[in-house]
Structure 1
Amino acid sequence: MPESKPRRKKNSQPQESRQSAHAIDKPMPGWYKPVMFGLMLLSLVWIIVYYVSQTLYPIPNIGGWNIVVGFGIAMVGFFMTTGWK
């Protein structure tokens, strides 16, 4: 039994224009990586200070919300890792 020929793909657009903007490697700004790691370290220090000071610091008036602030800062740092190249 004869085999059928595979279909050819039409090249209506050049290869460069078919790539999305995300596929092109752009250099990361110099501040991105230090800010990302800095936020993660700041959140770690924030939570450690909260527990070591027996809930008196870093902001004494908000009490248990210091944990939320610490984890919020950490989440911003971790979300930045998705854009790191």
Structure 2
Amino acid sequence: MPKSKVRKKTDYTINPASRTPVKVKAVGPSPVWYVTIMLGFMLAGLVWLLVYYLAADQISWMSDLNAWNFLIGFGLMVVGLIMTMRWR
């Protein structure tokens, strides 16, 4: 069986001045109203689902929504969770 030829490794050189550094803006903490709204959405979704499970038969318009209550409750919580990505 023939042996493969051994290749010579090429030297890797780095170009020292190929990039210029970019300054990143310092972003401060989120305002209090942002955190309040974020937590409000998450809690509103949780409360919506709790009320649906505990008192849907007593609230006629909520029992008429049926499975849409899950979409409303989880939708509110997802909006709050999406807001956490911008929270600093």
Rate the CA distance shift 1:67–1:56 in 2: closer, same or farther, 3 A: farther
Q: Structure with the greater relative contact order (CA < 8 A, sep ≥ 6): 1 or 2?
A: 2
Whether 1:65 and 2:72 are equivalent positions in the alignment is: no
What TM-score does the superposition give when structure 2 sets the normalisation length? 0.67
| TM-score with structure 1 setting the length | 0.69
Point out the more displaced range, 52-61 or 24-33: 52-61
Q: 1:56 to 1:9 in 2, by over 3 A?
A: farther
Structure 1 residues without counterparts, runs of 5 or longer: 1-5
- Root-mean-square deviation (CA, aligned residues, Å) is 2.7
Whole-angstrom CA distance in 2 between matches of 1:20 and 1:62: 48
> Corresponding residue for 2:27?
25
Give the CA deviation at 1:63.
1.2
CA contact (8 A) 1:55 1:63 kept: no
Q: 1:55, 1:64 within 8 Å by CA — same for their partners in 2?
A: no
SS of equivalent residue, structure 2 residue 30 = coil
Identity of aligned residues (%): 32
AA at the equivalent of 1:76: V
Could you tell me which of 63, 76, 79 is aligned with 2:82? Answer: 79
* Residue 60 (structure 1) shift: 3.0
CA spacing shift, 1:55–1:84, aligned 2, 3 Å: farther
**Cα deviation, residue 25, structure 1:** 1.4
| Structure 1: 4+ residue segments shifted above 6 A | none
